[in-house]
Amino acid sequence: MAPRYASVYPLVASRAVARPFTYEVPPEVSKGSVVSLRFHGARRRGVVVGFEEAAPVGIKTAQVGDVVDALPEPLIDLALWLADYYGSTPARALELVAPLKRKARGERESPAARDALGGEAEPAALSDSQRAALDRITAALESGGGTFLLHGATGSGKTEVYIQACTAALDRGRTAIVLVPEIALAPQTVGRLRARFGDQVAILHSALTEAERRDERARIASGAAPIVVGARSAVFAPLARVGVICVDEEHDQAYKQESDPRYDARTVAVKRAALEGAVAIFGSATPRPESWERLERLELGGRLAGPLPPVRIVDLRREKGYPLSAPLLAELGAVAESGGKAILLLNRRGVAPAIHCRSCGTTRRCPNCDVALVLHADDRLHCHHCSWTEQPGSSCPACGSGELARIGAGTQKLERELAEKVPELERIRLDADAVRRPGELAAALRRFADADRAVLIGTQMVAKGHHFGRVALAAVVDADTGLSFPDFRAEERTFQLLTQLAGRSGRDAPGKVLVQTFQPDARPIVHAARHDVPRFLTEELERRRELGYPPFRHLVRVVASGPEAAGPMQLLGEIAAGVVDDVLGPAPLLRLRGRHRAQLLTKTASPRPIAARIAQLLAAAAPAMRREGVTAVVDVDPQGL
């Protein structure tokens, strides 16, 4: 038999390897085969992306070794598209669909995932709006796919629609993916899928051991587990014939990967659905303006169990006692007396977010980063961006004054004040300091679920999709925290956080919501207090249309960093001169970990040519950048600015 030649990408991280290589392959190899091979003298894995008609002329080709895995073809096309769209390399993108054990940065997971809080084994009866949504999804599944926004308040029954959409896919010989922002924060969703589908569900997350991960992938590839649940990387699950991709809590930033390839799992889900003729379902109580504007909407309406709780705004300009104002203390007292639970959101860790000298006005700052140091319960100052810590000392290092003020409050201070003022309530803290080790997060959530009278204190983690019973009070201690961020999404994020937290209250019995703020007239606060999602999104879209922000234009961001302030600014200045589109900047950013940083933002109708042009300019500047220790990253559709 004549030898066969295939185009193969060796899986190497180097940016220099950006084309496929020709190898001689045995007959059992097909597009999507993962093979072992030798590349530049080293043993590697490679992915077959296509075949060549004729034997290559004038070069000697090597043979591949064993076939170690087989991936569905659409995944190969998906990876090559991703590399192009996000300006990465094909090999790095193929590594996402043919992963070896590695912990994706920012994907923090450690589910308890199998004895998780249970669910019903039988399908629930659907409401009229759930039925209408499911009928539309099923019709799309039978006619080549589509993308939908499933909009409904917390408790309106989105999960049941996902589950029955998965059933519809299975009934038609298709498979399904359910994405959640973080597995550890979604035990109920996972529990309900397991209760309904049993061992047909595979769970992919980064806390799996290498052996467990191999087992789960084998169950997926063999067809034994046609439903995959996981965080963002599960969008690359090696399922064949995908019919449905559900993206739960679609507004959550965790869907964006912040290291190369900087993909957004939501954008990838739409692309994969298109390649497979599948239906993508984006669900949220607080959708992104992007989804509200672009997607066909399936409305579930309000809560199945009754109306959403009333929201009271506490004006901190008039009420004393921050972080615990008199109205908030009164509500906590009522919970302590009659039993039940409260959730307090304060999106700042530590005891005091800043230490400030009353004499000279100096704020204690990190020597490596341009940010204030935060006092923690261990009585040390910590930087939240690098590992720097120091003693607070008793006097100001700038002027020697002993008049030091602790400004503001963090979650640890709130915990102390609650211990003092409402000792009857058990305190459970949920933030990055309290749940560092695997299992601690699940344990904290279980403790809260089982408690008789307790208060859950924490950062935005407490507002994620938990469904706890008997929550009589949900309160935002400081609604202003996020509004001051210099990010065009600051208002969107604040609105989402407030509305999501409000949704945690009163799911099974009447509940209340309290929002403490110095800006009671701010748009996101006013609309969140009325649960008015359409009004907020309509106004937000109007503002973005005027300013040319997403979804009306795409953003491409370049962040440069270097040991001196001048290098990054100069590099970005050169790039700005070479790009014709609407350019903002370059502007300096906060110094982090000792590196000076700056960013350039371009607004464009088509991000790919701009990203490609910037990549060209960066390649030309590479020698000078190396000399000056300057590095740069390009981010297409960035999230946090």
Binding site for Zn ion (CB under 5 A): 357, 359-360, 362, 366, 368-369, 383, 385-386, 388, 396, 398-399, 401
Cβ at position 561, least distance to Zn ion in Å: 14
Choice between 253 and 359, CB closer to Zn ion: 359
User: What is the number of other CB atoms lying within 10 angstroms of the CB of residue 368?
Assistant: 16
Cβ at position 612, least distance to Zn ion in Å: 35
Answer whether 557's CB lies under 8 Å from 635's CB. Answer: yes
Cβ at position 348, least distance to Zn ion in Å: 16
Choice between 386 and 522, CB closer to Zn ion: 386
Q: Is the peptide bond before 261 cis (omega within 30 degrees of 0)?
A: yes
Answer whether 514's CB lies under 8 Å from 314's CB. Answer: yes
Cβ at position 484, least distance to Zn ion in Å: 20
Cβ at position 597, least distance to Zn ion in Å: 13
Kind plus residue range of the DSSP H or E element containing 457: strand 453-458
**Cα radius of gyration rounded to whole Å, the chain:** 26
Give the C-alpha separation, 47 to 80, whole Å. Answer: 11
Residue 57 burial class via C-beta count within 10 angstroms: exposed 0-12, middle 13-18, buried 19 and up: exposed
Choice between 98 and 381, CB closer to Zn ion: 381
Cβ at position 364, least distance to Zn ion in Å: 10
Which is it for strands 62-63 and 21-25: parallel, antiparallel or unpaired?
Answer: parallel
Two tokens at 415? 């915990």
Cβ at position 374, least distance to Zn ion in Å: 10
Cβ at position 569, least distance to Zn ion in Å: 21
Q: What are 63's strand-pairing partners?
A: 24
Answer whether 114's CB lies under 8 Å from 212's CB. Answer: no
Q: Which long-range contacts (CB under 8 A, 24 or more apart) does 485-490 make?
A: 486/641, 487/640, 487/641, 488/544, 488/547, 488/549, 488/641, 489/639, 489/640, 489/641
Choice between 230 and 353, CB closer to Zn ion: 353
Choice between 306 and 393, CB closer to Zn ion: 393
Choice between 143 and 401, CB closer to Zn ion: 401
Per DSSP, the residues of 246-315 read EETTTT-GGGB--SSS--BHHHHHHHHHHHHTPEEEEEESS--HHHHHHSEEEEEES-TTSPPPPEEEEE
Two tokens at 195? 């209760």
Cβ at position 376, least distance to Zn ion in Å: 14
Choice between 456 and 559, CB closer to Zn ion: 559
- The one-letter amino acid code at 73 reads E
Choice between 52 and 370, CB closer to Zn ion: 370
Choice between 15 and 385, CB closer to Zn ion: 385
Residue 198 backbone zone (phi > 0: left; psi -120 to 50: alpha; other: beta): left
Give the C-alpha separation, 621 to 623, whole Å. Answer: 6
Cβ at position 366, least distance to Zn ion in Å: 3
Cβ at position 399, least distance to Zn ion in Å: 3
User: What is the number of other CB atoms lying within 10 angstroms of the CB of residue 328?
Assistant: 24
Choice between 253 and 368, CB closer to Zn ion: 368
What is the number of alpha carbons within 13 Å of residue 454 lying toward its C-beta?
19
Two tokens at 371? 């940010």
Residue 517 backbone zone (phi > 0: left; psi -120 to 50: alpha; other: beta): beta
Q: What is the largest CA-CA distance in the chain?
A: 88
Cβ at position 362, least distance to Zn ion in Å: 5
Cβ at position 559, least distance to Zn ion in Å: 17
> Helical H runs in 354-508?
411-421, 440-450, 490-502
Choice between 303 and 595, CB closer to Zn ion: 595
Choice between 359 and 538, CB closer to Zn ion: 359
In the chain the first and final C-alpha atoms are separated, in Å, by: 57
DSSP conformational letter for 324? S
Cβ at position 434, least distance to Zn ion in Å: 21
Give the C-alpha separation, 459 to 641, whole Å. Answer: 20
Choice between 555 and 559, CB closer to Zn ion: 559
Choice between 399 and 566, CB closer to Zn ion: 399
Give the CA distances from residue 624 to residues 562, 567, 617, 618, 627, in Å, rounded to whole numbers and listed in that order.
Answer: 12, 10, 12, 10, 5
Per DSSP, the residues of 430-441 read ESTTTT-STTHH
Cβ at position 371, least distance to Zn ion in Å: 6
DSSP conformational letter for 363? B
Choice between 432 and 619, CB closer to Zn ion: 432
